Structure 1
């Protein structure tokens, strides 16, 4: 059954102006939510207990992605370079640069149960299959796992860590893979959700305690919950056109936070959508899982 949740259950917790808000993460050490603005490179932090909201300017043209680490610093992307940033000092340590010479950038990423960071690249023109999916091991070694990708997105893992979800937004398709959590090898790629006929754009994703996959639909004004078998069982309509990604947060991981974007909206659309570029919160959608941290 596909349940349509009413808009009245949604509130704005940070009224922002993100051009391309993305990659929300809940930190269980600080009880704060963080996210990035990819195209106006900034790292945001929000404390729901106090309402405090802070931002840090980031270098580069695109911020790309982020992840938590076991050491307590933050993995961040500057264009095609992945680096670690100390949150207290701002000290930066570059880990690896991908795909030099291509008009690509890093995009969505997530850490698996063994502390490996899975991250994708994308074509800046959104049309060419020059992107790829990589696995970055805790020692900084990167291995290409998939090629021929237009826009990498929607990286998430099942609760047991044995299924990897991955989306190519501009192929309008989400995939599932079997993941060997010991050696980090993926096999048995199959289509999880196919929107190639309608050209809907699945964007960021997360997984809840029931093993259901939540996906945001850029330019689609909604988020969708899929059962592990790929069937849709819930759709939540949003007061914005461009939701980008989600993360469960709060001390009990029962608040679903949604990042959004102003990108591609006309002046008329922006006037009609005052919450575009803001962070939304939805209560009662379910319960999430703690984020894994990069490192050994």
Structure 2
């Protein structure tokens, strides 16, 4: 299978590939060299906006801006001026946590996970809550708690929400109520074997297959809708971070990657670490909302218990 290096970006942690169908463009971020990027496949232009702190996810707005989830709170980024305006304070201690992974449901609720990523020292790991945000309802923490959320995606009918807890290498499937944004009936969808890496960002195809980037395992994996493994596609990088369908007909799978934590020897072996890649996987993705809406988030607030 041909794997094209679209941008040899050498991103520290390239993440959150998101296809904007109305623009025919791909947005993505670098978490630790914090920036938002917009890649135009037609021209090859990759425009960037530098940010002021670790960025864990984003959602576009209908008025041409972007909501970015920075370590020190959610902000609105003006794409014309580059100005950042704070929308919310974080619901956690930013010295211990940052946001990680974000995706919008069909109604425009922006779901945002967390990662335990202390700025100083090595304190004992703690868990943080999953979040839901809308422009009209603000930010709420809900009661799925993890030290590293990832892998958010919805089934085509919107009734199943997928979410990974990366460190225990577990992918969960929730019942999802698209009217209220509430989660129910969590079940274990898949467990990733240790040698294959940890489950990172994900996408769903038109056949209900769940595509997952396996960070540390150097591959993207497709799961059947019942959670059994269909196939692995080996990549020229060990740390893929996110996959997203894009292009006309959503027939192209884009994959971001990271070079964070690699030794000099490893970087020599992986000259494309941190690249943005694309490949034809023989299927197409389902349309996915990338704009945050005005509807209230889920009504109930959760509390994490270790």
Q: TM-score, normalised on structure 1?
A: 0.92
CA RMSD for the aligned pairs? 1.8
The residue number in structure 2 matching 1:36 is 29
Q: Secondary structure at the match of 1:65?
A: strand
How far does the alpha carbon of each residue in 1:122-179 deviate from its partner, in whole angstroms, 9 at most, with x for none? 1005962322111223414223222431101111111111111111111211100001
The residue number in structure 2 matching 1:240 is 237
Question: Could you tell me which of 186, 203, 207 is aligned with 1:206?
Answer: 203
How far does the alpha carbon of each residue in 1:224-276 deviate from its partner, in whole angstroms, 9 at most, with x for none? 11121111112110010000001111122111100000012111110111110
1:208 shift after superposition: 1.5
1:112 equivalenced with 2:101 (yes/no): no
- Contact 2:15–2:28 (8 Å) recurs in 1: yes
Question: Could you tell me which of 61, 70, 77 is aligned with 2:69?
Answer: 77
1:88 equivalenced with 2:86 (yes/no): no
Question: Could you tell me which of 29, 39, 42 is aligned with 1:49?
Answer: 42
C-alpha distance 288-80 of structure 1, shift in aligned 2 (>3 A) = farther
Q: TM-score, normalised on structure 2?
A: 0.89
Q: Distance in 1 between matches of 2:193 and 2:210?
A: 19
C-alpha distance 273-104 of structure 1, shift in aligned 2 (>3 A) = same
The residue number in structure 2 matching 1:294 is 292
Question: Could you tell me which of 185, 188, 198 is aligned with 1:188?
Answer: 185
Q: Secondary structure at the match of 1:271?
A: helix
Q: Distance in 2 between matches of 1:213 and 1:182?
A: 23
Q: Secondary structure at the match of 1:252?
A: helix
Q: Secondary structure at the match of 1:64?
A: strand
- Contact 2:196–2:214 (8 Å) recurs in 1: no
The residue number in structure 1 matching 2:18 is 25
C-alpha distance 175-239 of structure 1, shift in aligned 2 (>3 A) = same
1:212 shift after superposition: 1.4
Q: Secondary structure at the match of 1:85?
A: strand
- Contact 2:196–2:216 (8 Å) recurs in 1: no
1:14 equivalenced with 2:11 (yes/no): no
C-alpha distance 114-23 of structure 1, shift in aligned 2 (>3 A) = same
Q: Distance in 2 between matches of 1:101 and 1:118?
A: 19
Question: Could you tell me which of 58, 62, 68 is aligned with 2:51?
Answer: 58
The residue number in structure 2 matching 1:141 is 138
Q: Distance in 1 between matches of 2:9 and 2:227?
A: 33
* Gapped regions of structure 1 (runs ≥ 5): 1-5
Question: Could you tell me which of 131, 156, 160 is aligned with 2:157?
Answer: 160
Q: Secondary structure at the match of 2:248?
A: coil
Q: Distance in 2 between matches of 1:78 and 1:227?
A: 34
1:196 shift after superposition: 6.5
1:95 shift after superposition: 2.1
Q: Secondary structure at the match of 1:30?
A: coil
